[in-house]
Structure 1
């Protein structure tokens, strides 16, 4: 449910910031339960660490006095808290963050920072705690959440979001960088968002070896800045041997966010549980009914599909191209014998006629309000509800029941088939789409005895929600290995397929067809359902996230970012979320990772230049022009990442065949790769923003240098200096002998993400 908040100011008792415990109390009184916290005018940092109540918080102190910044960094490093708590200099006027990035600002006073500037960087529902006052940034009416599969329980997958649009600015980025494999289960199984949080079910096992067992977990991130708030392991999920293009649709309908609660199945074939959305703490598990295959929520009631799952057993589909992965293995094992069968979750075989039922559950008591009789071959994710009517589809027809009692209202009894994917040989990844809108039921129906296909040749039939009368019908071609797109918006229906097509919802009259000009370099649509906003149809003809303006048909293709198989991209919270992928078809230029993108107003084409205020800045340090011994790197050194500018990873140095440990040093956080020159080993403590120089002989720490942001990679040594970049946007040059700053350079605005 979307909530609209007014800007409010509340007086809070004891919110002065004289002591560290006052700052902790300010965080609690703010109501913010995790994310990015800014301590404005932090001084020497003696109170700043108190803002980090637990691991859900990332604290950034700002001060306009460089002496204070240096003192604060030294203090926090001695306390061992630098990393989750960091400090940097700012000009006293402009906050160095992108829009909608900070969850909480705590300050005695704003000083030279304007109230508008503080509101600019706060996320929707973000809080400013200012000298005893609490100010909440309202939730914009122009943005929408996406709290369950297909947005709401009516299955009308339309984002009522007028801000989400073609991606032009990176809002945040996170792991995983890649989907694990093109042969195994997709890394992300489901994504929903509500209340400023983004929830996903994802595989945390490393992508380095695609045959390793999965490690699925629920991950909660802040939706606006990507800060990980909590994770919770899932003991048993899908086998990693499920083919990537065949993500079972029912696995994407396993989460529903309602207020401060997340309803989710904590195992693949188990009961429903309730988690605290802010902390991940388990609140309740409903012992019955089970196994739960789908979760939906509407008007205070949980609706579950319980029983045997829709046919989805697309395991061990390995395209060998005539060669086994590993010579000599037993070919009937997982991944043609290359896997680890003892480590995988059990594979779930398909039933020829799976049976299940729809159960309406009271979320407060767990009481079953009603349930259907046994359903044979229920169409996955077809259940939808709006008001006092609920509809679902099976192989025997389309059925409408009273949403409050479960009593039958009407039915259209006839054989209905679901298309079968050409890779999966099951219908589990491309079941028929069914939704309710405007007093009508929009039902995609496959042909009985339909052939195996990549693009299903379906029919959209529109029925009266009152009595089941057929009103009109139209073709509804499926997507590549996924369900047909059907969306209701403003009295019209958009249907996907080869060309997005708009119909009058009352009569079925064709209103518009958008024939896309940009349809490559990808040879087919991506393997996921498309989505729509009030302004754009979002498909993937280029292989990326392509935006079509509904009103004008204008195309804004973005082949450089794509969503992962099954989940795709998600428009919500005024942003577009792109999930990790593994496919390398028609790659070209491509951004990897779990990303959130912001758009810009008045965008007319994808390559339209975006004005950026450039301001080249060269700041000279105490070692500027004072490198006493500009010694070049020697032949046996390793002066840069992977040795040289070609990133060859090759050295001419002789290395003994038998190695033994000579020394070991533990840095405050995870270390970067290393570079070696001038008798020193250089490595960054990545998450504490600090570069270390160690004596190459015994590992003694010789010096360290702290930047204003994360340092992800080792420096490059050059004639007595080391050069490196930081996530604060600066390029640094420090003296190799003692770590003194020579200079730093920046050419872009201060907009941290």
Structure 2
């Protein structure tokens, strides 16, 4: 009988398992049918009416998708979260409750919307079409029938298929939507380019068919001694989701000095339609890849050593260098005894068949000038020596050549020490520009610009021209006029050279001081997009010119304007540390405002108003209740611990986790990418409870009187009961329910950092990313027990605009070494000198015991901004930034970077400072402190652990400048220092 019962139980269990498996398989089959029917390969899927979440999870068919489920029923959301978590998918698949008739997403973001029904009370098709990206698909079921609707790609946006827009080489987009950046579209990794002083970590970016492609070095930003890790990466152009990645076997030397080129790198790949063409290594042939999957479609043998690629009317024009490509010459490991110049060949290949149409080889090495190859109207143009050459694109036969003055730097003869003669052109470098426009070829060097007839080769007219800063001359034909850098003072008729329009005095727009960024300008037919300090918009139509110093492109490449967006690849810049964005960003122009969501701002949970439990007692000195121990974020405790530590218990959480906080016998941490808060028993590590938030929780909560307080990337502040994780309240800190994609997950446009600052019974949190985008940042002071708003401050900055009309204030320009000030520094909204500006990006909030700080900005306890700065802990990037880039430090100072002679990191990274100035306050890559001592780590050739004198924060002290003259300093402040042979990742002082 007993055996019979066991058999029955086993059979029942088996039936349940089979039922569950068959149900899961059915959902996977349905998901596969949906993906096949819609043709969506990767990107963001939104599932409306997600129910139990099984189909939602199944729609995440591979790593190229992320999925967000919506449902009005909170019980369905809870069940769906449980199912998705059981599949180990939470984060890539996330869920939230749908409120109102709108969809909680920004415009043009979603690739696929799946819905069982869009009827009364549900978001309408107009709303679905708003959130869909161009070519996105709505797949809606009505009356047992699925209907597919595709959002057409707007005719007013444009692609950017080549380094310089297209094969003609005129870096001017036809995109009529691109405008001054005002909103996030998406942001992605890497947060930093590896190093400012070496080869840029992103070689170039192109875009086609709603995707972007780029070549990136994913080696660590902490050390250039670590070998490069080059890859070709594809992302969705409208949400930044990673679609695929392919390794590159070898590339230009990553330690090459950043101003020495090579100029060929951005020209080594192109995209068109559903294909990407690139050489995945210095000695690899050009490969045609499926743009959606990265799979190889065709390989073009004989193209090893590729230096440049353009594509014109289905014909690939490939420049190869032998025996190795020119951009390999500086790397001794790749050079193989080859000296510059190498020998270059142009090969024309029919892209679809792989048939070679013709080849052209230079008669002598060093003849073909880099980045002058262009094609248009059945012709191929380039500079060879002192001639502009035209070939027939079909046959390769020469049509004509036009002599131009060769003004590359003069060749230097061998000196008396019998050194080898230096070539006229540096390896990997060029200072000429060539483009094709209508029936013209426009050529320019450092002295003059020449217009040449594309039909006859006759030189028609010329005018003076100049090179950019460490870049060839900027020659742009925009809005039917020719504009020449660097000042773009006049617009000429490109056919006659006649001046047709005067532009703004560029000095009225550009921030004074320092130099232009080391990359070429781009444009649209509405705006010239210059890169003096950030992205300046020179308006060619209405004379409303805008300056945006808070965002910039990557060295050697710059930015990309297309798809109605500005793409700003990751940089390693040390300017404007207060407000500059970090990471790979896509930014949108001003959008039409919509009616905000009707979601309730303060949601009361089941534990709201419940009596306090035994866990509500005050924390003790043995507790660590908030990030880095206390509101000062000191990372220091007076509690003594043994110098010989051993495991008391060990629990595997998995994934990326935050640092823990500890109070009242509870260890609380966040599983960051899984949106979970986890409570463990401090005695034995046993799990007490978990709670799933609506987005990432990037840092640990704060434990306060029996409550667990934290912010989330969904834009909410949460309060849980410490004893059981039950929700007390949730506060929506956002002005609207709008989500984007950030670092590969759905996030609010206005995320809230995890660690909430609690001071004197007020919980402080900030929602937003930057004071310059999406209306800025909102700082709240909340009642920790009730969630009610006590204080509120809106932190936002106006965008500086310059018009051609009106009197300008006359304030004499003052030079401060590389820096300078002028009238704009004192009167414009950004108050910008060359290295410092108004504005802020968010970080974990910090206290000095008296005030609240958002990075360098100081607020009183009522959230009112204070004009005076004072000492506190801050980071020049973010306190949560673990990249250890050489342009990032923790500092115990005021955060005043204005009027310094050079970028701050040039001073901080040299012991003793620079330009007779040094950073005279404690700083390092990590710091911990108490009232008397600061312990920290600095990085030079080795890691140095040090102790430095400190003094308590005081509300009455007069703060000294962080940067001071060397002779004004009191002398050495270090108590001791020692080099350590490990890479430190955290620092805590105890005892």
TM-score when normalising by structure 2? 0.67
Q: Distance in 2 between matches of 1:572 and 1:349?
A: 42
Does structure 2 conserve the Cα–Cα contact (< 8 Å) formed by 1:35 and 1:229? Answer: yes
What is residue 525 of structure 1 aligned with on the other side?
516
Q: Distance in 1 between matches of 2:335 and 2:650?
A: 44
Report 1 or 2 for greater relative contact order, CA contacts < 8 Å, sequence distance ≥ 6.
1
Secondary structure of the 2:54 match is coil
Does structure 1 conserve the Cα–Cα contact (< 8 Å) formed by 2:186 and 2:240? Answer: yes
Matched, 1:740 2:731: no
Identify which range, 100-109 or 496-505, moves more after superposition.
496-505
Give a deviation string over 1:436-490, Cα, whole Å, max 9, x none: 0020000013xxxxxxxxxxx3311111111111111122222211121111234
Alignment of 1:155-166 (within 5 A): 155-166=169-180
Alignment of 1:75-474 (within 5 A): 75-91=83-99, 93-111=101-119, 112-131=122-141, 132-308=146-322, 346=334, 351-374=339-362, 376-377=365-366, 378-413=368-403, 416-418=406-408, 426=426, 428-445=428-445, 457-474=446-463
Secondary structure of the 1:256 match is strand
Match of 2:566 among 576, 595, 602: 576
Does structure 2 conserve the Cα–Cα contact (< 8 Å) formed by 1:312 and 1:426? Answer: no
Q: Distance in 2 between matches of 1:218 and 1:653?
A: 50
Secondary structure of the 2:447 match is strand
Give a deviation string over 1:72-114, Cα, whole Å, max 9, x none: 1112222323222222101152111111111001111113211
Alignment of 1:710-721 (within 5 A): 710-721=696-707
Distance 1:247 1:64, change over 3 A: farther
What is residue 8 of structure 1 aligned with on the other side?
none
Distance 1:215 1:500, change over 3 A: farther
Q: Distance in 1 between matches of 2:683 and 2:512?
A: 53
Does structure 2 conserve the Cα–Cα contact (< 8 Å) formed by 1:472 and 1:508? Answer: yes
Q: Distance in 2 between matches of 1:477 and 1:349?
A: 35
What is residue 699 of structure 1 aligned with on the other side?
685
- Could you tell me how far 1:303 is from its partner in structure 2? 0.4
Does structure 2 conserve the Cα–Cα contact (< 8 Å) formed by 1:314 and 1:425? Answer: no
Distance 1:428 1:513, change over 3 A: farther
Give a deviation string over 1:369-388, Cα, whole Å, max 9, x none: 11113253211111000011
Distance 1:471 1:647, change over 3 A: farther
What is residue 492 of structure 1 aligned with on the other side?
481
Give a deviation string over 1:580-637, Cα, whole Å, max 9, x none: 11121354421111001000169xxxxxxx8995977111111223232422332233
- Could you tell me how far 1:122 is from its partner in structure 2? 0.5
Match of 1:72 among 65, 80, 84: 80
Match of 2:575 among 576, 582, 585: 585
Give a deviation string over 1:392-425, Cα, whole Å, max 9, x none: 00223211111111100111245524359xxx99
Secondary structure of the 2:265 match is helix
Q: Distance in 2 between matches of 1:522 and 1:712?
A: 37
- Give the unaligned 5+ runs of structure 1: 1-16, 317-343, 446-456, 603-609
Match of 2:43 among 13, 31, 35: 35
Secondary structure of the 2:396 match is coil
Report how many residues are paired: 689
- Could you tell me how far 1:507 is from its partner in structure 2? 1.2
TM-score when normalising by structure 1? 0.87
Identify which range, 646-655 or 110-119, moves more after superposition.
646-655
- Could you tell me how far 1:71 is from its partner in structure 2? 1.2
- Give the unaligned 5+ runs of structure 2: 1-24, 411-423, 741-991
What is residue 765 of structure 2 aligned with on the other side?
none
Please identify the structure whose Cα radius of gyration is greater.
Answer: 2
Give a deviation string over 1:332-361, Cα, whole Å, max 9, x none: xxxxxxxxxxxx964688844332011101
- Could you tell me how far 1:729 is from its partner in structure 2? 1.1
Distance 1:732 1:521, change over 3 A: farther
Distance 1:373 1:80, change over 3 A: closer
Match of 2:603 among 603, 619, 643: 619
Q: Distance in 1 between matches of 2:597 and 2:46?
A: 25
